[in-house]
Structure 1
Amino acid sequence: MPRSASTNRELREKSRERILAAALEVFAEKGYEAASISDVTQRAGVSRGLVTYYFATKLSLAAELLDRWLDGIGAILDLTGTADERLAGIIDGTLMAAASTLPIQRLAISLMMQPTTHPVFAEVESAKSTRVTQIEDAIRSIFTERGAADPAVEEMLLRATLEGVTVKLAIYPDTFPVEAVRRRLHASYGLPIPTTPLPIASPPVDRLRAR
């Protein structure tokens, strides 16, 4: 009995997701430059033709992963509550995402910074221009409500701080004191100190060392 159109769509989507998951694993393990489409094909357990059917080049795979990373950041648009509650949500949500999705965070940082792939990031960011602007404006509205003299600078500073934290966490996942940094960030913005820790590993403050 022939498969229905909906079943075929579901199978195609599953194959596409399997390829993307494999690409993320391979890029995270080998680095984007060293990884190949053949590596992705082998990891996904599919034919090369199927990979190239969905993603013509390795760059297109990277672009899709970056696209999803930007969509993840866009989750802050769903935050509700007072300005302080939304700001606390951004801080906590970023730390949670950084700690629980380290492979995609490492890949995004790498692709943004490498000269050969930075243009891919710029292209994806440009394609998502409306979404990125909405994210920026959502953060700026928080600082406007809090009475900041320059909400745009505050937005850029917050994002730069959280992105720096993400970089350090990606480099030192076993020794980065997430909870201590979280509490310090809350305090720096005059937010109530969290009473419940995030459900992620957080070693005590000592020294950042790779293991």
Structure 2
Amino acid sequence: MSPRSASANEEMRRRSRERLLQATVELVGERGYEATTLADIADRAGTARGLVSYYFPGKRQLLQSAVHRVMHLELEAGLERAPCARDGRERLARAIDAILGLARDRPLLMRTHMAGILQAEGFIQCPEQQRLARLLHETVAAYGSPDPDADYPLLRALLMGAVVAVLLPGAPMPFERLRAELFQRYGLDWELGVPPCPGPPRAGA
């Protein structure tokens, strides 16, 4: 049997890494962070336990990469779904709906992710986060920002703040109200993106 080519080995590593990321999302979503072990993740992914440590320095970093992958894929799907959106305002609306929607639809996963970012390890700039950043940066540019390098971090901060507000234990903000605030901030019509209801909430609602 001839040895595998460098490209074949690289593809195998990529697939192994993605299986670990997907297994992490599934298990944390089912059991929570503390009840999920690295051995559990390796078993679910069908890989050797040692591969987890090869790709990631620890469980918290693995989770961040896994959630950033989910966010990237969700954002990419939202931006590219039919009919394809070429208008910058529509693309920004879809981006807001994709990220904010994860807080509504996958609260345990996103709450665990945000809690990890606020701990000692902080914000990890992994390949998955870089793909997410690139998509958001391109979205800000398509929206018409004169300075995407400055406006992208602001959009990221606003989205992170909105996600935290949706997930805040004991005092969550309504998803619709936060969406309305973000849309107003960027001058977006409520009907753009994927509106959760026919019209924006009334003031004070």
Q: TM-score scaled by structure 1?
A: 0.60
Which residue of 2 is the match for residue 185 of structure 1? 182
CA distance in 1, matches of 2:156, 2:135: 14
CA apart distance, 1:163: 0.9
Among candidates 118, 122, 133, match of residue 118 of structure 1 = 122
- CA pair 152-80 structure 1, distance change in 2 beyond 3 A: same
Identical pairs, percent: 20
Q: What runs of 5+ residues in structure 1 fail to find an aligned partner?
A: 1-8
Give the partner amino acid of 1:96.
G
CA distance in 2, matches of 1:65, 1:164: 20
Which residue of 2 is the match for residue 167 of structure 1? 164
Considering only CA atoms, is the larger Rg found in Structure 1 or Structure 2?
1
CA distance in 1, matches of 2:98, 2:143: 15
Whether the 8 Å contact between 1:36 and 1:58 is mirrored in structure 2 is no
Residues 40-95 of structure 1, C-alpha deviations (whole Å, 9 max, x = no match):
47xx9x59x96615524743643552452453365265362311111211222222
CA apart distance, 1:100: 0.8
CA distance in 1, matches of 2:174, 2:122: 30
Whether the 8 Å contact between 1:111 and 1:118 is mirrored in structure 2 is yes
**2:196 is paired with a residue of what secondary structure?**
coil
Which residue of 1 is the match for residue 66 of structure 2? 65
Give the partner amino acid of 2:102.
A
CA distance in 2, matches of 1:197, 1:74: 16
Which residue of 1 is the match for residue 101 of structure 2? 96
Give the partner amino acid of 2:66.
L
Whether the 8 Å contact between 2:136 and 2:152 is mirrored in structure 1 is no
Whether the 8 Å contact between 2:28 and 2:109 is mirrored in structure 1 is no
Give the partner amino acid of 1:118.
G
How many residues matched?
Answer: 176
Question: Is the deviation greater in 66-75 or in 179-188?
Answer: 66-75
CA distance in 1, matches of 2:132, 2:95: 16
RMSD: 4.2
CA apart distance, 1:137: 3.2
Does residue 198 in structure 1 map to residue 199 in structure 2?
Answer: no
Q: TM-score scaled by structure 2?
A: 0.61
Give the partner amino acid of 1:82.
D
Which residue of 1 is the match for residue 151 of structure 2? 154
- CA pair 173-153 structure 1, distance change in 2 beyond 3 A: farther
Q: What runs of 5+ residues in structure 2 fail to find an aligned partner?
A: 1-11
